Amino acid sequence: MIEPLKIEPTHKTPKVYFDPQNNMFELSGRSIPEDSVGFYKRVLDWIDEYSQKPNSKTEFKFELEYFNTSSSKNILELLKKLEKIHSDGNDVHITWYYDEDDEDMEETGEDYKALLSVPLELIMKVY
C-alpha cells in the first residue's frame, strides 16, 4: 500500500493528512502560499499514485479556514482527481466543513459542488 502523506501545517500552508490504511484523508487550516503550485505538486502527485489503487471507500475531509485564489485552482484539481476515482467505480465521499459565521467558505464549497459530480457534502460547524 502507498505510504501515507503527512505535512504539518504552517502559517501559510495547510495540514495534509492522507492515510489510506486508516482511511483518513484531511486537508485543513490555511492555504495562502504565494507559490501554491510548489506546495500542491506533492499533494496532487500523491493522489495520482493513490488513484492507481484506491480504497474501495475514500472519506475525504476539507476543513479550511482561509485560502487564496491561487490555492483554489489547485484544490479544484485535487477534487477533480477524487471525482475521477469516484467515476472509476469507487466509493468517494467528500465533506466540506465551514464555520457557522463563514458565508464565504460556505459559498466556495457551493462553487466546487456546482463544478463536480462527486458527492460533496457541506457541513456547518456550530460553536
Partner 1 sequence: MTYSYYKNMQLNNIIFVYQGEVTADLVSSILQMMENKLEGDGEDKKIKKKVFNVMVECLQNVYHHLDTLEVGANTDSDINDRTALLMIGKEEKDYYVITGNHIINSRITNLRDRLEKVNNCDKNELKALYQTILNDGELSEKGTAGLGMIDIARKSGQKLGYDFHPVNDKYSFFSLEAKVARV
CB of 2 to partner 1, least distance (A): 26
34 versus 89: smaller Cβ distance to partner 1? 34
CB of 91 to partner 1, least distance (A): 25
Q: List, as one string, the DSSP characters of 19-64.
A: EGGGTEEEEEEEE--S-HHHHHHHHHHHHHHHHHS--SEEEEEEEE
CB of 36 to partner 1, least distance (A): 5
CB of 75 to partner 1, least distance (A): 9
59 versus 102: smaller Cβ distance to partner 1? 102
59 versus 66: smaller Cβ distance to partner 1? 66
Residue type present at position 89: G
In the chain, count H helices and then E strands.
Answer: 3, 6
| Contacting positions for partner 1 (CB under 8 A) | 11-12, 32, 34-38, 65-66, 68-70, 72-74, 76, 99, 101-104, 107, 111, 114-115
Give the integer Cα–Cα distance in Å for 102 and 105: 6
58 versus 74: smaller Cβ distance to partner 1? 74
- The distance between the two most distant Cα atoms of the chain, rounded to a whole number of Å, is 40
Burial class (CB in 10 A: 0-12, 13-18, 19+), 15: middle
